Amino acid sequence: MGDNSGNSIDLDENSFLSEKCDTNDHSDDHLSSLLLLNALPQQVWTADETGAITYVNKMICHDFGFNQETIIAHGWQSFVHPEDLPESISRWQEALHSGKDYTTEFRLRFADGHYYWHLARAVGIKRDGKPNIWVGTNTNIHDQKNNEQRKDEFISIASHELKTPLTTIKGYNQLMLRQVSEGKIKALLERSAGQVDRLEKLIKDLLDVSKINAGKLLFNYESFDFSEMLHQTIAGMQAIFPSHLIKLETDIQLAYNGDRYRLEQVLQNFLSNAIKYSPGADTVNVTASLADGNIIVSVKDDGIGIAAENLGKLFERYYRADNSSSRFDGLGLGLFISAEIIKRHSGSFWIDSEPGKGSTFSFKLPVDPQLQIEAEIRTESYYKDRYIRIYCPKESEIMHVEWTGYQDMRSVKHGGSLMIDYLRKNSRSKVFNDNRLVPGTWSEASDWAAEVWLPLMELAGLRFFAWILSPSAFSQLSARKSVDNKNKSAEISFFNSAEEGMDWLEKQAL
């Protein structure tokens, strides 16, 4: 956040706070407000449009042990933990650039020399006839953070301690199964073996969650036969779930560089979910294909399906990078772990579902994450590559954009930047944005689109934007998330019909 000097500060110097923050420099009309802020048992601060701190309340002075003038002169850099500083500055700059609310977590150094976790939030306030300001708070969440850490440590220790006796129980169970013939005893032992397997999977999931939260989930990347992995994983799950026929309908022959064990874990989770939520069906279909330089794997069931509002909840839970185990419900731990594994392979996952008609769980893995995007055609008014087509017809106010294929952070940033450039150079104010050929999800780019791309589109001249939605539910959720910016000035409308979208756009008067 804002640093008004760029210099570090010695916490032992003579500017140590002796009484209170100085409010004498403020005019009378602000004095009552300042007294109110000073009375709050929470850190409160303000900043100007450039991000420089202009005011800190008495609580901040008390916690840091310095007077107001010293804290303002040096900014937050002197008090934020060095490990947390780059992320907090990056988010602050993004907020200043986009005008969107600022939120981050960091450790602040107090007068006792110790660091304490805080949740920082700030909102921009526009004032008529006066410079705009930011008003922020820092809320102490140190106890909450410590409790989360202790919880993760407990889960990790408990999982390790449970593994040894569970392995012993599993071994004795297998020995007893070998000693008995067909009959009631064998049936009971087989049932107990199934419950032991379920408990073993739960322990593994809990251990993985604790590793994810601690940033210690390890991956072993190496080249392996992707088709062989599919066949062996399906065969293993078929043995565990004889109630359903698992069919591999399409296959790919490809050597893929990734963590085979972790990707098997994802496929196992998708298959177990498909079987669990299709009690009235007996078949699960798996497809694997190559599209747009990506491996696409889908698991389809004919089960109970998922309602649209619950798909939205799943989208919110799994697309973000700051998930925590406290959010688990519904489909459980497995999808949380799967989402992290796929993300670490530069991929994404999504769900298409309808109540009563089953669900399709899919994930995408780029074969070459560094593959360059090259233009097929590029003129002053027309552009085309494998992800996007942009056309600015003469004597028209409309820029036509068509997105194609599976999108991700890289392709969305690439296409979004081209749209800004063509909008400005061709002096357009209306955009027809066609996403009908976009499957899957591009959720990882939603925040960038909302905070960076859309404000820049408006600066380039955008006034009216007709967004034609993809049939994919997760792609639609990505689109709506990308315009989640309360400070936007352009008028944006979503349509399922291209004809309705164009009709609306043509009727908008400039």
- Note whether 196 and 260 are same-domain residues: no
Domain end position, chosen among 140, 174, 199: 140
- Note whether 227 and 351 are same-domain residues: yes
With respect to residue 414, please indicate whether it lies within any of the assigned structural domains.
Answer: yes
Q: Write out the residue range of the structural domain in which residue 56 sits.
A: 28-140
- Note whether 156 and 130 are same-domain residues: no
With respect to residue 17, please indicate whether it lies within any of the assigned structural domains.
Answer: no
With respect to residue 18, please indicate whether it lies within any of the assigned structural domains.
Answer: no
Per residue of the chain (510 residues), give pLDDT as tens.
555 544 434 433 333 333 344 444 444 445 545 555 565 668 999 999 899 999 998 899 999 999 999 999 888 888 999 999 998 998 899 888 878 889 999 999 999 999 999 999 998 888 777 788 898 899 998 888 877 777 766 666 666 667 777 778 878 788 888 888 777 888 888 777 777 776 777 677 767 666 666 666 778 899 999 999 999 999 988 988 889 999 999 999 999 999 998 899 899 989 988 998 888 888 999 999 999 889 999 999 999 888 877 887 776 655 543 443 333 334 467 788 888 899 889 899 999 998 888 999 999 999 988 788 999 999 999 999 999 999 999 988 999 999 999 999 999 999 999 999 999 999 999 999 999 999 999 988 998 898 889 989 999 999 999 999 999 999 999 999 888 765 678 899 999 999 999 999 999 987
Which 8-state DSSP code applies to residue 161?
H
Q: Quick check: pTM over 0.85?
A: no
What gap in Å lies between CA 447 and CA 145, rounded to an integer? 25
Please give the pLDDT value at position 187: 80
With respect to residue 227, please indicate whether it lies within any of the assigned structural domains.
Answer: yes
Domain end position, chosen among 335, 366, 397: 366
- Note whether 45 and 123 are same-domain residues: yes
- Note whether 351 and 229 are same-domain residues: yes
Please give the pLDDT value at position 38: 61
Q: Could you report the per-residue pLDDT of 57-110, keeping only the tens digit for each?
A: 889 999 999 999 999 988 888 899 999 999 899 889 988 887 888 999 999 999
* b/e 237-246 (16+ beta carbons within 10 angstroms → b): beeebeebeb
Interaxial angle between packed helices 260-276 and 226-240, expressed in degrees from 0 to 180 and rounded to the nearest 10: 40
Total tally of structural domains belonging to the chain: 4
CB 336 within 8 A of CB 209: yes
Among 326, 434, 443, 344, residue whose Cα is nearest residue 389? 434
With respect to residue 15, please indicate whether it lies within any of the assigned structural domains.
Answer: no
List, in sequence order, every residue forming a beta bridge with 257; answer none if it has no partner.
223
With respect to residue 4, please indicate whether it lies within any of the assigned structural domains.
Answer: no
With respect to residue 276, please indicate whether it lies within any of the assigned structural domains.
Answer: yes
- Note whether 402 and 477 are same-domain residues: yes
CB 157 within 8 A of CB 214: no
With respect to residue 411, please indicate whether it lies within any of the assigned structural domains.
Answer: yes
List, in sequence order, every residue forming a beta bridge with 296; answer none if it has no partner.
289, 364
What gap in Å lies between CA 324 and CA 317, rounded to an integer? 9
- Note whether 98 and 53 are same-domain residues: yes
- Note whether 102 and 206 are same-domain residues: no
Please, is 59 exposed, middle or buried when counting C-beta atoms within 10 Å of its C-beta (0-12, 13-18, 19+)?
buried
- Note whether 152 and 120 are same-domain residues: no
Q: Could you report the per-residue pLDDT of 157-188, keeping only the tens digit for each?
A: 666 667 777 778 878 788 888 888 777 888 88
Domain end position, chosen among 116, 140, 164: 140
Residue 331: CATH number of its domain: 3.30.565.10
- Note whether 185 and 233 are same-domain residues: no
CB count, 10 Å around CB of 31?
12
Residue 160: CATH number of its domain: 1.10.287.130
- Note whether 297 and 239 are same-domain residues: yes
Going by their DSSP bridges, the two strands 377-378 and 382-384 should be labelled as antiparallel
Please give the pLDDT value at position 323: 40
- Note whether 209 and 292 are same-domain residues: no
Residue 450: CATH number of its domain: 3.40.50.10600
Please give the pLDDT value at position 503: 96
